[in-house]
Structure 1
Amino acid sequence: MKYYVIAGEASGDLHASNLMRELRRRDPSASFRCWGGDLMQQENGIIVKHYREMAYMGFVEVLTHLPAIFRNIRQCKQDLLQHRPDVLILVDFPGFNLRIAEFAKQQNIPVFYYISPKIWAWNQKRVLKIKRVVDKMFCILPFEVDFYRRWGMEVDYVGNPLADAIAAREATDAALHGDQPLIALLPGSRKQEITRILPEMLRATDHFKDFRVVIAGAPAFSEDFYRPFTGSRQIQVVFGQTYDLLRASRAALVTSGTATLETALLNVPQAVLYKANALSVAIARRVIKVPYISLVNLIAGKEIVKELIQETCNEEQIAAELGKLLHDEPYRNRMLADYEVLRGIVGGPGASTRAAEKMLEYLSE
């Protein structure tokens, strides 16, 4: 069977690659044409365009890159028509993927959506478009089932694929251990967010000389990209070792995104940071309808981890929160106890397997 898979960022690349592996196990004739990243390529995916050429975050940032975005959409539509897959599988990335879904639907190409866009956070009426252009939705957050049902759409809940990714990665963190305890910095995967948030992270960690600081590098960049930020500081940057780094760390500073949930599932106390273009954040605050930005707090339905956003994402407030994460044992223990409840909500491994089985079941009908 011919699969066309689109993922527009690092987390989508991870989850799409795990799904592709499970599809290949059940469909030996599977071939994949992809918009994605290195992990999808490792699963025998032919990469049409790498996600590093597609990932823009923030209202203003998207507006300034509209010509490139529209060129990508045109190219994707042409490629989709040329290769006519048996199914189009979209992974999150709604601004791009919903446009492609609409086009594929017009061309009578089945559309599966793996990892729902966060439409429950803002502009919920987008669900009406999803009902029209998506044949099957596979959700990874438990509350999404009830959300879609309120809008008259039945979806499949398959569990969270992060549990798969973590279970599949054996601990190999010996090289990260040393005499000093570690602070992990996860500044994100996009250039815009790294540029705004990493300097604040680094200035905050300067207050903790007894700890070694290690940065989890994004796969789309090299170590040279990070050196202007670290300057004369003796800071290691690691690639492809984020889980190992987290397992070895006392605490973490994490840019809002999938990594916040990964950090919680790996049981590392954290603070969640976010800073973007001031106008983008102002617009977001007017339209976003949820009380938290981190997946950890959203899934739990309460504040487990501190969120430092825009004005509060600064050296002083980050350093104050990091001090509590490193030294305040009752504070740490409360967070770790809440993580235990969170893991129960998220569930164990198997999401990629369940999603692949469901997809093949629907395709065989």
Structure 2
Amino acid sequence: MKILVSALEVSSNIHLKALRPHLPEVEWLGVYEPLNARDKPILSPKNFSVMGFKEVFGRLFFFYKALKTMAHLAEQADLVLLMDSSSFNIPLAKRIKKAQPNKPILYYILPQVWAWKAYRAPIIEKHCDKLAAILPFELSYYQEKAQFVGHPLLDEIKYQKTEVGGESVVFMPGSRKQEIERILPIFVQVAQKIRGKKVLVVPASFQGQDLNALYGAHLKLFEVSFDAHKSLYEASFAFICSGTATLEAALIGTPFILAYKARPLDFFIAKNLVHLTCIGLANIFYNALHNESPGRGQTMLHPEIIQDDLNAPKLLEIYDTLDRGKFLQESQKIRAYLQHGSAQVVAEWIKHGLKP
């Protein structure tokens, strides 16, 4: 079986890596991180690693060309697997279905229509054959093609705390250069005030790169780790840029602060387009657990300090006062809410060609 996969994000490729052992005979085409010598993606996810409205606008011709190439490559595939990245993958699904109406398309890691652009849900359902929802509350946005399959992080995370404590403090300033440039200097100020072992978690995809060029002279303040899950498990606390890492910390049971800062223009646009009270995935799930609208509730599992509010004194104040025991107890409810991993279910769908 040949599968065309469109996995443009770091997190999507982590989830794809957990899925692939269940599909050992598959030949993978498209955009993804290679895992062995047989893998020959046409483009790297790194080619799509841009953030901010200005950067995206400057790459429009590249995205158009990539869409055209991927739609053509779909002719060779038995099935199409789309993962997150709605701005690229929804247009790709439209192109493929227009040219090949009978080509089965599976969307795994659905776009966050519950946060904004809910009108995309019927568009996704129209152009895809099956939708693998990793959040229970996503189902309410679709008519019949969506099914909750569990959450991929429960396949991937092998650690879970049973008691409060740890030997270090973890800092995770993001996986994009722009995030690192804005957030790391604030994390450095925090690290300089905290005693004991400080660990900087660097994305595994950065291995082999010049870390001093990426992180600057203050890199020497930290012990560097490429293993986020192990480092979070061993830590007593974490400071984390928004993203999948916040949910990973919650599932492991490590208390943390979400700390995020975008470019002023991007923040202004996003704030006026997306009316959320929280941006952390664990908080969004925590809203749902308390019968609140996900992302728009008031009940929070962890603090979120963003944009102009983000500064070292505020982070240190929360670090000193946050109730670690309560966090550990409440974080276990998130794990129970997500139930189980998703890789096995999705693999079975694929093996049967998305048929019931």
Q: Does 1:352 align with 2:339?
A: no
Q: Tell whether the 8 Å contact from 2:30 to 2:70 is kept in structure 1 after alignment.
A: no
Other-structure match for 2:15: 15
Q: Does 1:33 align with 2:29?
A: yes
Q: Does 1:98 align with 2:84?
A: no
Match of 1:164 among 152, 155, 163: 155
Q: Tell whether the 8 Å contact from 1:182 to 1:249 is kept in structure 2 after alignment.
A: yes
Other-structure match for 2:204: 219
Q: Tell whether the 8 Å contact from 1:253 to 1:273 is kept in structure 2 after alignment.
A: yes
Normalization by structure 1: what TM-score?
0.86
Other-structure match for 1:174: none
Other-structure match for 1:182: 168
CA deviation string 1:163-197 (max 9, x = no partner): 00013x799xxxxxxxx931111122222212221
SS, match of residue 90 in structure 1: strand
Other-structure match for 2:124: 130
Other-structure match for 1:51: 45
Q: Tell whether the 8 Å contact from 1:182 to 1:250 is kept in structure 2 after alignment.
A: yes
CA deviation string 1:261-305 (max 9, x = no partner): 111111100111211111111111111143210110001103111
The residue identity in structure 2 corresponding to 1:14 is I
Q: Does 1:144 align with 2:138?
A: yes
C-alpha distance in structure 1 between counterparts of 2:187 and 2:68, whole Å = 38
The residue identity in structure 2 corresponding to 1:97 is N
User: How far did residue 140 of structure 1 move?
Assistant: 0.4
Q: Tell whether the 8 Å contact from 1:60 to 1:279 is kept in structure 2 after alignment.
A: no
Q: Does 1:272 align with 2:258?
A: yes
Q: Does 1:234 align with 2:221?
A: yes
SS, match of residue 260 in structure 1: helix
C-alpha distance in structure 2 between counterparts of 1:74 and 1:187, whole Å = 34
* Unaligned 5+ runs, structure 2: 288-298
Q: Tell whether the 8 Å contact from 2:125 to 2:145 is kept in structure 1 after alignment.
A: no
Match of 2:316 among 311, 316, 319: 319
Q: Tell whether the 8 Å contact from 1:252 to 1:271 is kept in structure 2 after alignment.
A: yes
User: How far did residue 121 of structure 1 move?
Assistant: 0.5
| Fraction of identical pairs, as percent | 28
C-alpha distance in structure 2 between counterparts of 1:19 and 1:43, whole Å = 18
Aligned CA distance change for structure 1 residues 293 and 57 (closer, same or farther; 3 Å): same
* Unaligned 5+ runs, structure 1: 172-179, 326-330
C-alpha distance in structure 1 between counterparts of 2:181 and 2:17, whole Å = 28
C-alpha distance in structure 2 between counterparts of 1:359 and 1:343, whole Å = 26
User: How far did residue 43 of structure 1 move?
Assistant: 9.3
C-alpha distance in structure 1 between counterparts of 2:46 and 2:68, whole Å = 18
Other-structure match for 2:296: none
Aligned CA distance change for structure 1 residues 247 and 356 (closer, same or farther; 3 Å): same
Other-structure match for 1:2: 2
Q: Tell whether the 8 Å contact from 1:21 to 1:43 is kept in structure 2 after alignment.
A: no
Other-structure match for 2:293: none
User: How far did residue 142 of structure 1 move?
Assistant: 0.8
C-alpha distance in structure 2 between counterparts of 1:290 and 1:7, whole Å = 26
C-alpha distance in structure 2 between counterparts of 1:165 and 1:42, whole Å = 19
User: How far did residue 44 of structure 1 move?
Assistant: 4.9
Other-structure match for 1:175: none
SS, match of residue 62 in structure 2: helix
C-alpha RMSD of matched pairs (Å): 2.3
